[in-house]
Structure 1
Amino acid sequence: MNLLRHPDLLDQIAASYALGTLRGGARRRFEGMARENPGVRSRALLWQETFAAFTELQPGLLPSPQVWQRIENMLPALRRPVAAAAAASATATATDLLQGLRRALGLWRGAALVGGLAAVAAVVVGVRLDQQLGQREVALAQAKEQGTQLTAQLAAQPRIEYVAVLQDDKQAGSVLVTFDPAKRALTLKRVGDYQEGTDKSLELWALPPGQAPRSLGLMGQGAAVARLTAAEGDVAPSPALAITLEPKGGAPAGGGPTGPIVFKGALLKTDT
Structure 2
Amino acid sequence: MNYNKPELLDSLAAEYVLGTLTGLARKRFQRLMLVSIRAREAANMWEQNLNNLASAISPQAPSDATWHEIIRRIENKPQREKSSPITTPSLWRTWSFIATAACIILAFLVIQPTTSVKQTQQIALVKNQIEQPLWFINVSNHELSIKASNQLIARTDRDYELWMILKGQDAPVSLGLLPKYGDKTILKNKLFNATDITLLAVSLEPVGGSPNGLPTEVLHTTELVLL
Tell me the TM-score normalised to structure 1 length.
Answer: 0.42
Please list the CA deviations of residues 140-197 of structure 1 after superposition, one character each: whole Å capped at 9, or x if unmatched.
xxxxxxxxxxxxxxxxx8611011111122213331111112xx11011122422222
What is the match of residue 199 of structure 1?
Answer: 157
Query: Equivalents in 2 of 1:207, 1:192: separation in Å?
Result: 27
8 Å CA contact 2:162–2:200 kept in 1: the answer is yes
Question: What amino acid maps onto 2:101 in structure 1?
Answer: G
What is the match of residue 102 of structure 2?
Answer: 40
**CA RMSD across the alignment:** 2.8
- Displacement after TM superposition at 1:238 (Å): 0.7
Q: Which has the larger radius of gyration?
A: 1
What is the match of residue 164 of structure 1?
Answer: 124
8 Å CA contact 2:201–2:218 kept in 1: the answer is no
Please list the CA deviations of residues 28-66 of structure 1 after superposition, one character each: whole Å capped at 9, or x if unmatched.
x7xxx99x9432211213344675237xxxxxxxxxxxx
* 1:256 equivalenced with 2:214 (yes/no): yes
* 1:269 equivalenced with 2:226 (yes/no): yes
* 1:226 equivalenced with 2:192 (yes/no): no
User: Which residues of structure 1 form unaligned runs of 5+?
Assistant: 1-28, 55-156
- Report SS of the residue matched to 1:40: helix
Q: Percent identity?
A: 22
What is the match of residue 6 of structure 1?
Answer: none
Question: What amino acid maps onto 2:122 in structure 1?
Answer: Y
Tell me the TM-score normalised to structure 2 length.
Answer: 0.50
Rate the CA distance shift 1:53–1:178 in 2: closer, same or farther, 3 A.
Answer: closer
What is the match of residue 180 of structure 1?
Answer: 140
Q: Within 5 A, what are the aligned runs for 1:9-28?
A: none
Tell me the number of residue pairs that the alignment of Structure 1 and Structure 2 aligns.
131
Rate the CA distance shift 1:186–1:45 in 2: closer, same or farther, 3 A.
Answer: same
User: Which residues of structure 2 form unaligned runs of 5+?
Assistant: 1-74, 76-94
